[in-house]
Structure formats: structure tokens, C-alpha cells
Structure 1
Amino acid sequence: MTAEILLAVRAGIMSAEGDPIVFLDADLTIPVEILDLFLEALATGADLAIASRYVAGSVVDRPWWRRVMGDVYRFVVHALVPTDIKDTQCGGKMYTAEAAKNLFARQRLDGFAFDAEVLFLAKRAGYRVREIPFALRQRNDTRIDFLRDSPRMFRDLFLIRLNALRGVYGR
């Protein structure tokens, strides 16, 4: 994700007037039918509902190399950013308006790791996050260049940890 896209996402969330606030990747790899499950999760006490490829009930159909790269990234996320969330990167999320505005006001990074940062902040603030299984069918194309983007992704994960230790996020 480019900084420009993230700025647009942040601006959209901060200016949204409705409740809840939804974020879905534009490629629609996450079926819109998941919105009903998100609403149910929020209605039963969650502050955030997120699509997850790694919880029971998910069906994932994607190329082997995307699975391997995703697993490596997920391992690094969990090594550097303490969280019990299984899937920080899936592009389908619903927030209560209060949670979304609070989290995106505190979020600092402008790259691919922004999802991990927002979810780290959510858990740290005590928000209830519910992961929702879904059926993913991912195409072979991607705008991620793993050789070019991986160093920045890993650097950003390290920055989340460093920012937390330095008190950048507050409490």
C-alpha cells in the first residue's frame, strides 16, 4: 500500500459520519457478504471485526507462493508485534466509529504494516477484536514486489515495536 492510499483511507475514516465504519480492499477478494457477519460481531460486543484467513472455517484458495510469503510475514509480525490476532493483513475490517477514529488518530506508519499497527493499538487499548472466517479466492496478480517491499514491511514492523517501547503511542 502506498502512502497516498493510506492517507486516503485515514482521511475517509476520520471524516466518516456513520457507525460502524467499514474498510474493504478494492479488489473485492473478500466477499461483501461478510458484512453481515461483521455487523453480528459488533452487535455481540466486538469493537472491531476482521476477516481472517487463519481461523477455523476459513477457506483459502491462493497461489502457493502467496501462501508462503504470507506465512513468513505473519511469523515476523508475531515475533515483533505482540498480538494474539491471527491475521493482521487481511483487507476486510469493520470498526465501531469510536474505535476507528481513536485508532487511526494514533496510527503513525504509512505503509503495508499499517494494519498490524492499528490492530496492535486496538489490543493495547483493550478493544475487543473478533476474527471472522471467510472464503478467499485470490488471483495470481499482485502489486506487491516482494523483493522491493519486504525490507520496508519488516522495518515498519520493527518500528511498531520501537514506537511502543519509546512511548510514541501513549497508553
Structure 2
Amino acid sequence: MDLSIVIPAYNEGKKISGDIFAADKFLKENNFEGEIIIVDDGSIDDTYDVSINCENKTFFNLNVIRLNKNQGKGNAVKEGILNSKGKLVLYADAGETVGFENSLLGIKLINDGKFKIANGSRKMKGSKIIKEQDFDRKLISKIFGFAAKYLLKIPKDLTDTQCGFKLYDGKVAKQLFSKLETTGFLFELEIILLAIKEGYNIVEFPVIWKCDRDSRISVSKSSKKVIDEFIFLYKKFIS
């Protein structure tokens, strides 16, 4: 199988069918042998039912995984990747914030053999932002980026660690995600740190991105967990 597309979802009942059909169309138009994996992270809306109802309407295999309890985006992505079968795995945020066609450059970069991980970036030459974040999220993003670079020693040539659009060699993805311990929004930083520790090269590619203003991310509710995960990662990799 060429490509597994993993989409974590929490209370995305109004949008998830759009993600599924967009992923299905992308796989078909590019002649990929693939699968779509939706991981319902303990949603309390109809995300699971809407996803299941799409099963007979897609050309490619649709695997819907339902987690009984909301455990965090990192855990949802981990579950999807560990259940994937593709030679390559693409993890993409729900809400079509990045069109799937953006992954073609990342796929080429990995298939060329030099890289095992290709991260989408909103901050490099060739990137384009159609719909901006609001001021609060922009500020938090800058603080987050500063902390990642200077506290966790994330390489400065990685311009965007938090863009929810990343490609992995399938075997490498399972190796790294099987070791993942952070379940929240800092999971991408842990995967980068694990990859560096294992000696894998990471490349970025530009994407066209639009902010999902209807995002389920609550900055105020997530702040304590983010701080706790920063401390955990610092102790695990730096101190």
C-alpha cells in the first residue's frame, strides 16, 4: 500500500465527511493505493456516526477508530499511525486546513531516499496563508516557537514544528510513535526529538494553509497540559 492518511478528530461531525471525501479524491486522482484512517478521540458529537456513514461512499478503504475517552491529539495520531499499513503515512488535521495535494512534494522528498520525515511548513519560502490566525493564537505560537527552539533545542532550520500536516516513512513512523509518551499538542515536538535521537533527517516543504477558526483547541484549557508536557520533554531530552 502506497499511502495511509491519518486524520485525528474531536467533535468534528460537521466537517469530517469533507475531510474523508477530499482524501478519497486525492488518492484516486493520483493513482495511489491507499487507506483513510479517522481516529475519533472520544467525541461527544456525531463524528463517529458521520465517519461510519461514509464507508460505502469512498473508493478507498476507510478505517474508523473510536477511542472511548478523549485523551489528546497526540494519542489519537499515535493510534492511527500504529494501525496504518502504508509505505508512507500522512497525518493531517481535520477541517482541510491544508489541501492533500500539498503532500505531493513531501512524498517525493521521502521517496527520493534521503529523508524519512517531511513536515509541512507555513513559514518557509513558497508557503502561503489564506486565512490568518487571530492575534492571541499568533502570539502564543511565537512564544511556543521560542520555547521549542531555546528550551528543547529544536533545530533552527525547522521553521514550523506545529503545522498539522506531516509525512513519514511508514516503518519509521511506527518506530517513533510506539515510543511517544506525550498525548497532547506537544507530541510533534517529541516525535522530532525522537527522530533526531535516532539519527533521522527531517525536511520541510511549503504548504498552502488556512486557519480553522472553528478549531476545537482551547488555549485556556490546554495551557497547563502544554506547560506540563514542556517540562516533561525538557527532562527527557535536555536535562
1:148 to 1:51, Cα distance in 2 relative to 1, 3 A: same
Secondary structure in structure 1 of the residue aligned to 2:120: strand
2:230 maps to 157
2:69 equivalent to 1:69: no
**1:91 maps onto 2:161 in alignment:** no
Task: Please state how far the C-alpha of 1:4 moved relative to its aligned partner.
Answer: 5.0
> Given the superposition, is the C-alpha separation of residues 151 and 7 from structure 1 closer, same or farther in structure 2, using an over 3 Å criterion?
closer
Assess if the C-alpha contact under 8 Å between 2:123 and 2:160 holds in 1: yes
Bigger relative contact order, structure 1 or 2 (CA pairs below 8 A, ≥6 apart) = 1
Match of 2:80 in 1: 12
- Structure 1 regions of 5+ residues with no counterpart? 167-171
TM-score scaled to structure 2, two decimals?
A: 0.64
Letter in 2 for 1:134: V
Give 3-state SS (helix, strand or coil) of 1:3's partner.
coil
Q: Structure 2 vs 1, CA of residues 8 and 63 (structure 1 numbering), >3 Å: closer, same or farther?
A: closer
List, as ranges, runs of 4+ consecutive aligned residues in structure 1 with deviation greater than 4 Å. none
Moved more, 28-37 or 77-86: 77-86
Q: CA deviation at 1:77?
A: 1.4
CA contact (8 A) 2:74 2:186 kept: no
User: 2: CA distance between counterparts of 1:121 and 1:129?
Assistant: 11
Contact 1:29/1:136 (CA < 8 Å) preserved in 2?
yes
Aligned partner of 1:17: which letter? K
Task: Say if 1:83 and 1:123, in contact at 8 Å, map to a contact too.
Answer: no
Q: Is the 8 A contact 1:20 1:97 kept in 2?
A: yes
Q: Distance in 2 between matches of 1:123 and 1:153?
A: 21
What SS is found at the alignment partner of 1:106? coil
CA distance in structure 1 between the aligned counterparts of 2:170 and 2:236, rounded to whole angstroms: 25
Aligned-partner Cα distance in 2 for 1:50–1:145: 24
Task: Give the number of equivalent residue pairs.
Answer: 166
In the other structure, the counterpart of 2:109 is: 41
- Once residues 184 and 102 of structure 2 are traced to their aligned partners in structure 1, the CA distance between those partners, rounded to angstroms, is 25
Q: Which amino acid letter does the alignment assign opposite residue 159 of structure 2?
A: K
Consecutive unaligned residues in structure 2, runs of 5 or more? 1-9, 11-69
TM-score scaled by structure 1? 0.88
**Sequence identity (%):** 26
Name the CA distance, whole Å, in 2 between partners of 1:14 and 1:140: 30
Checking the alignment, whether the CA contact within 8 Å between 2:102 and 2:208 is kept in structure 1 is: no
Higher strand share: 2
Query: Does residue 1:79 correspond to 2:150, yes or no?
Result: yes
Aligned mate of 1:58, from 122, 127, 130: 127
Letter in 1 for 2:172: A
Q: Quick check: 1:121 aligned with 2:168?
A: no
Q: CA deviation at 1:140?
A: 2.6
**8 A Cα contact 1:18 1:97, kept in partner:** yes
Amino acid paired to 2:93: D
Partner Cα separation in structure 2 for residue 80 and residue 142 of structure 1: 27
Superposed CA RMSD = 1.8
Q: What is the alpha-carbon distance in structure 2 between the residues aligned to residue 107 and residue 159 of structure 1?
A: 12
Q: Distance in 2 between matches of 1:42 and 1:53?
A: 19
User: 1:112 maps to what in 2?
Assistant: 185
